[in-house]
Structures are given as C-alpha cells and as structure tokens.
Amino acid sequence: MTTPDRSAGADAVFDALGDPTRRAILQQVARYGPITATEVAARLPVSRQAVGKHLVVLGQAGLVSGERDGRERRFSANSQPMIEASRWLAATGAAWDDRLTRLAARVETRARAGEAGGERQ
C-alpha cells in the first residue's frame, strides 16, 4: 500500500496551520465568527495588520472566507479544508499502521526462525 499524496489543498491547509498565530486566529474566527480582523486582534496579542496578513493565508487555504459588511470585512471559518486534511492524515496513518504491522510480522517470523534454528544445534 502506498502513502496517499497530499493534494495542493491539503498542502495549503498544513502550511497555514503550521503557524501558531494562524491557528489561534482560526480558533477565534471559528468560535466568534463572523468576526472582523480588528475584533480578532483585540482578543490576541497581535496587531490588526498582522491579523490581516494571517487571514489572507488562511483564506488562500480555504479555511476562512470574508464578506463585506459595510466598511468592514467579516470572516467566517470553513471546516471543509480541515475535513479533507484530516482524511489525508487518517489515510496516511492507516498506511503507516499497515507498514508497521507487516514489519512486526516479518521480525516475529525471523525471530521464530532463529529460535528454531538455535534449538536444533
């Protein structure tokens, strides 16, 4: 069994979530959204400008989307990219579990063969 390839979407999700500030921002958007960048910045020790830049990266990964509300832009979380990334992780984990199971069986078979060979001597 081969390890499933990461799609470009999963790459963007993992890249976006690789930064702890972006994870904190996404958590705020998911919890309190629709929310403005200013409101997010008020809840975190990050400037409004930094939040805006992080929201762009999260948006490119599809994790948040923004809609105009008058002069403001309100952001909401989108769980679908996380679901897809989670599926990739599960499939990759299953592939590794399969590999480790086969390796353990091979080691056990060789160990038994070694014990059986030692008993004959």
Residue-wise pLDDT tens digits, 37-69:
999 999 999 999 999 999 999 999 999 999 999
Tokens 């984990």 belong to 93
Contact of 25 with 54, CB cutoff 8 Å = yes
Number of domains forming the structure of the chain: 1
Domain range enclosing 31: 8-78
Contact of 28 with 46, CB cutoff 8 Å = no
Is residue 17 in a domain? yes
Over the chain, what is the mean pLDDT? 88
Task: Report whether the peptide linkage leading into residue 34 is cis, meaning its omega lies within 30 degrees of zero.
Answer: yes
C-alpha 23/C-alpha 58 separation (Å) is 9
Is residue 92 in a domain? no
Is residue 112 in a domain? no
Is residue 96 in a domain? no
As given in the structure block, the two tokens for residue 11 are 């790459």
As given in the structure block, the two tokens for residue 89 are 């992780």
DSSP 3-state of 86: helix
Is residue 66 in a domain? yes
Task: Assign residue 58 the CATH number of its domain.
Answer: 1.10.10.10
- pLDDT the model gives residue 3: 41
The tens place of each residue's pLDDT in the chain, 121 residues long, gives 334 455 667 889 999 999 999 999 999 999 998 999 999 999 999 999 999 999 999 999 999 999 999 999 999 999 999 888 888 889 889 989 889 999 999 998 988 888 777 655 4
Contact of 34 with 74, CB cutoff 8 Å = yes
Is residue 91 in a domain? no
